Amino acid sequence: MPPGTNKHRIVKVAVPCPLYKTFDYILPASLSSKCLQQGTRVRVPFGRQKLIAIVIEETRGSEIPANKLKPVIAVLDDHSLLSTEILKLLFWSAQYYVHPLGDVLQTALPVYLRSNDDATPVLTEYWAINLAQQLSVNEVHELLQRAPKQQQLYRLLLAADKNGKDTGLDSYALNSLTDSWRPAIKALQEKKLIKHAYKPAVLVAKKTSTNSIQLNKDQQQALASIESHDQQHAVHVLNGVTGSGKTEVYLALCKSILADGKQILILVPEIGLTPQLTQRFLEQLDTTVAVLHSALNDRQRYAAWHAAATGQARLIIGTRSSIFTPLPELGLIIVDEEHDGSYKQQDGFRYNARDLAIVRARNNNIPVVLGSATASLETLNNIYEQRYIAHYLKNRANKRPMPRIELINLCNQKLHEGMAETMLTKIQQHLAQQGQVLLFINRRGFAPLLMCHDCGWTTNCLRCDAHMTFHKRRKLLQCHHCGAQRPAPEKCEACGGSNILAIGAGTERIEQYLQQAFANTQVSRIDRDTTRNKGSLQEKLQQAHSGESGILVGTQMLAKGHDFPNITLVGILDTDQALFSADFRAAEHLAQLITQVSGRAGRAEKPGEVLIQTHHPEHPLLQTLIHHGYISFADAALKERMAAGLPPSRHLALIRCEAIDANAAQTFLNKAIACSEQLAINDVEIFGPLPAPMERRAGRYRYQLMLQSAHRKPLHQLLSRCAPQLQQLPAARKVRWSIDIDPYDTY
């Protein structure tokens, strides 16, 4: 140890960078009074930058001589903003996902804290009707006669206040309801018709509906069985068909946990798509709620996070990254739609929030509930191996029968923009009986490609192994993989011919065709293209609910959580692609999708019907699914996975690598093989380098190594020892590479 080292306080920190190591800094005398608790943020010099790093520990010595250590610039917090509990989860995650600690901690920290020294939370600003003004609604309208925008806003605020006094609307709500509202709101404020105020980032849930639902027998049984574990750790799986009343079970559970003074974390796939779920919690419980979603700005999100971390908010509803919210009195975690792919982060720190929910619940000795109508094969396997406890809700809560599912054999049939005559006749029938129709196709745009009829030229993306999708209304070609776009060609770019065909059909084409074929019915398309503008999704959902739109055409956005009572026919237009996909989870995803989308049919009085188009009606997957249901399908699929040695029978990890130069990517992966061979760890099989199913994307060649093992331990040993070495390789500088533990897909 160099002389004098022990005179200084030395601190080990995690720096927000993707390096597999921590860094030591010296604490200068001017900061010697500061406390350096684990998790405290400090500002440190790093290369030419000054970064916010996180204290791991204070150490006595360093491998680096004291006179070479750089000093900490500032200690930003007087205590850690991350609880011991969250830090434990994060350290565990960094190891499990073999991901650099600095990057893991960075991901967990609210963006606001990554860039602002001051951690004082800001209050949320909001606007509400000024109750002190004495004018009647009619008088106000007269006053605002020439200001339609102000009138609109006034009406919105009136509506918002109906649920409870002074709820008002914050900028997030206003943004989602309308555009360019600031000047008008300011004018209303100046007229003293409304007030502008600040409130903490918590919502107040207030039980408004008086006629509470009596749980049915299955629900009661599930609830009792979950509660019989006395709030000790257990993983409960609530397997309930769509509409079976899972949410009611969550609500009942929440009531008792909240009554015990505990906090609850509810993870949902996407909040924007399912505002109804949040609404139900707000209307059925009496508590404080923080909603963490991506549409909040950094300040708002931090404020909500802070409310959760200090215990002000008792119920937290959030998407994937909310799993890292500190919750001092956490008593229950619920993961809704546990099978949903959005729980897995697909770049950088590739964690799975569902799996981390289980780890977190185990660490805290509290229960976790995974809910789904279509549980993932992993989860089902864990039930069969008795690690998880299953509870089944086999029937719809409102006693409606499950819809009848039938296959339409497309072979040799005359097709209209990809739809069989049988499908069109059925649509006609359901509309005639005042039913609504939902058509599902997982492809947006007009057609997946254009082709020259003279020479066969197709619209390929220059940077990907993929076609560019034709968007007719916007007159452009767009690559859905790299985002590239250009004007749609009027002539063939190879032969100059003008005989250009649009091949295949997406939502836009189906919408156009149906609008012509059913001219008296409003056809509404719901996909990412039609819901880009603020409020347009809400508006479209509203039109669907009110029955204004008779036919809904949509992508998987429509498969999630919406309850359209009047839908009697669901058509699934395209299944063949998934039946023959190279991805090992494709069949599982297709079955989940079919089941979820089918669940939208016949929710109310009228019976529902589901039609699935395919060229392969005899396919065993489809046969099992429609005749015996999702669980039987899943059991069969699980057997196939076991036979093939795929997850969950064996554990899987990928080392992904991409580079402009295909050789560089392969070279790097070959070095990775050499590195792992040197470690001589048994029981891990390595396949590759294999090209990714889409070999070139956004101008980069993509290759991967697939690592498989019957046990996690050797797999993790190998990767955690290899990763720091690979980072040092000169070959690593020419590529982008990453480790993906428990990959969701192999693309």
Binding site for Zn ion (CB under 5 A): 452, 454-455, 457, 461, 463-464, 479, 481-482, 484, 492, 494-495, 497
The answer to whether the peptide bond before residue 648 is cis (omega within 30 degrees of 0) is yes
Extract the tokens encoding 232: 């000790």
CB 249 → ligand ADP: shortest distance, Å?
A: 7
395 binds ligand ADP (CB under 6 A): no
595 binds ligand ADP (CB under 6 A): no
Taking the least distance from each CB to ligand ADP, the nearer of 214 and 533 is: 214
248 binds ligand ADP (CB under 6 A): yes
Measured between alpha carbons, how far is 507 from 554 in angstroms, rounded to an integer? 6
CB 581 → Zn ion: shortest distance, Å?
A: 19
Measured between alpha carbons, how far is 384 from 389 in angstroms, rounded to an integer? 9
Candidate list 16, 39, 168, 245; residue touching ligand ADP; CB under 6 A = 245
Amino acid at 326: P
**Helix (H), strand (E), coil (C) string for 236-260:** EEEEECCCCCHHHHHHHHHHHHHHC
Measured between alpha carbons, how far is 229 from 242 in angstroms, rounded to an integer? 26
Candidate list 168, 200, 243, 550; residue touching ligand ADP; CB under 6 A = 243
What residues from 185 to 224 belong to the interface with ligand ADP (CB under 6 A)?
Answer: 213-216, 219
Question: Could you say which of ligand ADP, Zn ion, none residue 240 binds, taking C-beta under 5 to 8 angstroms by partner kind?
Answer: ligand ADP
Residue 28's contacts (CB-CB under 8 Å, 6 or more residues apart) are 71, 72
Extract the tokens encoding 557: 């956005």
CB 700 → Zn ion: shortest distance, Å?
A: 11
Closest CA to 458 of 494, 418, 496, 498: 494
Question: Could you say which of ligand ADP, Zn ion, none residue 463 binds, taking C-beta under 5 to 8 angstroms by partner kind?
Answer: Zn ion
Question: Could you say which of ligand ADP, Zn ion, none residue 242 binds, taking C-beta under 5 to 8 angstroms by partner kind?
Answer: ligand ADP
How far are the Cα atoms of 140, 332, 403, 428, 663 from residue 436, in angstroms, in the given order? 39, 38, 14, 10, 54
Question: Could you say which of ligand ADP, Zn ion, none residue 246 binds, taking C-beta under 5 to 8 angstroms by partner kind?
Answer: ligand ADP
Question: Could you say which of ligand ADP, Zn ion, none residue 77 binds, taking C-beta under 5 to 8 angstroms by partner kind?
Answer: none
Residue 135, burial from CB neighbour count under 10 angstroms (0-12, 13-18, 19+)? middle
CB 245 → ligand ADP: shortest distance, Å?
A: 3
Question: Could you say which of Zn ion, ligand ADP, none residue 495 binds, taking C-beta under 5 to 8 angstroms by partner kind?
Answer: Zn ion
What SS3 class is residue 706? strand
Q: From residue 345 to residue 384, what is the string marking binding to ligand ADP with x (rule CB under 6 A)? A: ----------------------------------------
Part in contact with ligand ADP (CB under 6 A); list of ranges 238-246, 548-556, 688-696, 697-705: 238-246
Neighbours of 744 (CB within 10 A): 17
Closest CA to 639 of 294, 260, 381: 381
Question: Could you say which of ligand ADP, Zn ion, none residue 485 binds, taking C-beta under 5 to 8 angstroms by partner kind?
Answer: none
Secondary structure E strands in 352-499: 368-372, 389-393, 404-409, 415-416, 419-420, 436-440, 449-452, 469-471, 476-478, 485-487
Question: Could you say which of ligand ADP, Zn ion, none residue 494 binds, taking C-beta under 5 to 8 angstroms by partner kind?
Answer: Zn ion
246 binds ligand ADP (CB under 6 A): yes
Measured between alpha carbons, how far is 481 from 698 in angstroms, rounded to an integer? 8
Measured between alpha carbons, how far is 357 from 340 in angstroms, rounded to an integer? 14
Taking the least distance from each CB to ligand ADP, the nearer of 138 and 214 is: 214
Taking the least distance from each CB to Zn ion, the nearer of 500 and 741 is: 500
Candidate list 93, 107, 124, 242; residue touching ligand ADP; CB under 6 A = 242
How far are the Cα atoms of 201, 272, 513 from residue 541, in angstroms, in the given order? 27, 12, 21
Amino acid at 33: S
240 binds ligand ADP (CB under 6 A): yes
Question: Could you say which of ligand ADP, Zn ion, none residue 80 binds, taking C-beta under 5 to 8 angstroms by partner kind?
Answer: none
Q: From residue 2 to residue 31, what is the string marking binding to ligand ADP with x (rule CB under 6 A)? A: ------------------------------
Candidate list 247, 322, 568, 624; residue touching ligand ADP; CB under 6 A = 247
274 binds ligand ADP (CB under 6 A): no
Residues of the shown chain interacting with ligand ADP in the complex, contacts defined by CB under 6 A: 213-216, 219, 240, 242-248, 397-398
